[in-house]
Amino acid sequence: QQQVKQSPQSLIVQKGGISIINCAYENTAFDYFPWYQQFPGKGPALLIAIRPDVSEKKEGRFTISFNKSAKQFSLHIMDSQPGDSATYFCAASPQGTSGTYKYIFGTGTRLKVLA
Amino acid sequence: NAGVTQTPKFRVLKTGQSMTLLCAQDMNHEYMYWYRQDPGMGLRLIHYSVGEGTTAKGEVPDGYNVSRLKKQNFLLGLESAAPSQTSVYFCASSYSRYRGRGAPLHFGNGTRLTVT
């Protein structure tokens, strides 16, 4: 079974601090790595995504770092705010025309940002 | 645009009862999915559909059936509910590919199901 291993399971950060969530994958055929953000009572929503041909992607306070050789990618939230408190899921999608429905999700990280 | 709409939002079933969860999307997406979310387990794919009239099994299909009679709707059925099916169920939809790579999933807000 293909896996995406996510850590930590939970994270508490002070307001203004940096939140870092890590994911590692096994299948080298993955070609799309999104992060989803989920607030209580809501469905996950796409936050930011990266392709393996770049090592970093930044959108506002959110940055994905990608290490293809180590098969790892991470989400960095700069200047973390209480409104960032949510559960974050990493995911990976394989290459090929049949890929999209084989998304593999990490187990999630519950982030709490203290005011 | 409403996006992905799931009904009902909450449901309590007794063991052995049946029910159908409804999912509708208005984005003309080809693909639709049903996931279940359990604490510490992430999102696990139950069934998916790559087009009207087609369905396929995902990672945890046992005890569930699906149908996609119309492109915009994807139904998830539980024929004989069991306590192990207590979970939060999410429907999602997506294009088949986007710019040649994986396409973002658009999720509904979930159905919280309790089986007693």
Whether residue B97 is predicted with pLDDT greater than 90 in this model: the reply is no
Over the range B77-111, which residues count as b (16 or more CB within 10 Å of their CB) and which as e? ebeebeeebbbbbbbbbbbbbeeebbbbbbbbbbb
Q: Most B CBs within 10 Å: which of A93, A101, A104, A107, as the mutation test of the B interface?
A: A101
Q: How much is the pLDDT for A77?
A: 98
Contacts of B84 (CB under 8 A, 6+ apart): B63, B115
**Confidence class of residue A32 from pLDDT cuts 50, 70 and 90?**
confident
pLDDT tens by residue, A57-79: 999 999 999 999 999 999 999 99
Q: Is A109 on the interface with B (CB under 8 A)?
A: no
Q: How much is the pLDDT for B69?
A: 95
Contact A103 B42 (CB under 8 A): no
Q: How much is the pLDDT for A31?
A: 83
Task: Find residues 15-34 of chain A whose CB sits inside 8 Å of chain B.
Answer: 31-32, 34
Q: How much is the pLDDT for A101?
A: 63
Candidate from B44, B58, B102 with C-beta closest to A100: B102
Nearest residue in chain A measured CA to CA from B31: A101
Q: How close is the nearest chain A Cα to the Cα of B116, in Å?
A: 21
Q: Are B89 and B35 in contact (CB under 8 A)?
A: yes
Q: Are B106 and B27 in contact (CB under 8 A)?
A: yes
Task: Find residues 55-84 of chain A whose CB sits inside 8 Å of chain B.
Answer: none
Q: The sheet that has A19-25: what strands, in order across it?
A: A4-7, A19-25, A72-77, A62-67, A56-59
Alpha helix segments (H runs only) across chain B: none
Candidate from B42, B50, B107 with C-beta closest to A108: B42
Start-to-end CA span in chain A (Å): 40
Contact A99 B97 (CB under 8 A): yes
Q: How close is the nearest chain B Cα to the Cα of A16, in Å?
A: 27
Q: How much is the pLDDT for A115?
A: 92
Stretch B11-26: mean pLDDT: 97
Contacts of B96 (CB under 8 A, 6+ apart): A100, B30, B31, B50, B103
